Amino acid sequence: MAVGVFDSGLGGLTVLDAVSKQLPDVPFVYFADSSHAPYGVRDADDIYDLTTKAVERLWEAGCDLVILACNTASAAALRRMQESWIPKDKRVLGVFVPLIEALTERQWGDNSPPREVAVQHVALFATPATVSSRAFQRELAFRAIGVDVEAQACGGLVDAIEEGDMILAEALVRSHVDALKRKMPSPEAAILGCTHYPLMQETYQEALGADVKVYSQANLVAASLEDYLKRHPEMIGSGQDSGFLTTGDPEKVSRHATQFLKRKINFTKA
């Protein structure tokens, strides 16, 4: 009955932590493609190839449902996977949907015409690949009108977080927020469009100001997954055990993951 959670590195652990608390009886298998991280600087074809290989490995582990806890993979690969690659008995879900549902206050299946929403000026902080894909803006435009989205590519931030260099990560966050504010001086809301970024949410909030509502994804994804599994219980796979897989050095990845979640994590070689 396992569910897979995939990220290029350790950022998806923020999602794993949230879904594990929301669904304590469901085993989760986490896959970190650490040897190829970060995805945010790769081109779309490369991201697609790496993501499909990782998803296949999670299917082998008994996870018929896989969460792409990676905004870059969700932005650059998911639509292509859903259109032509995923078998009928499998499901792969991204992390954009719950975020856009929260921002627009409407369910994903609501296909009524786009309408005005409360927030008009939105800052999007994401990896270069997610920004260049314009996937978030495209999905938002289907559901809302009159929303101005200003995207800021946060180069170097994922690397700093993966290496545990939080001093550098904090400096990068403040630099990227300054750059965003030069383009959009008064955002009403900010999207942390990478699953690594919730670790820096306090720094983002401080840099943006208390009047800016900051959206991160972990808890939104957890609530959405619980609802999805209630509606589609058949998508809980045959796997019985939780686990952590990586394409990188398991000892190094385990050490960083333990620092990341502040509890002991043991990865094995994928």
Question: Which sequence positions are flagged as catalytic?
Answer: 70, 194
CA dist., res. 74 & res. 96, Å (int): 7
Q: What are the φ and ψ backbone dihedral angles of 247, each rounded to 5 degrees?
A: -85, -10
H helix and E strand count, the chain: 12, 12
3-class secondary structure per residue, 99-168: HHHHHHCCCCCCCCCCEECCCCEEEEEECHHHHHHCHHHHHHHHHEECCEEEEEECCCHHHHHHCCCHHH
Coil/strand/helix, residue 16: helix
CA dist., res. 1 & res. 5, Å (int): 13
The residue type at 19:
V
CA dist., res. 26 & res. 219, Å (int): 16
- HSE-up (13 A, CA, CB side) for residue 193: 35
CA dist., res. 193 & res. 132, Å (int): 13
Quote the tokens at residue 152. Answer: 């800021």
The answer to whether 29 and 243 have CB atoms below 8 angstroms apart is yes
CA dist., res. 232 & res. 158, Å (int): 33
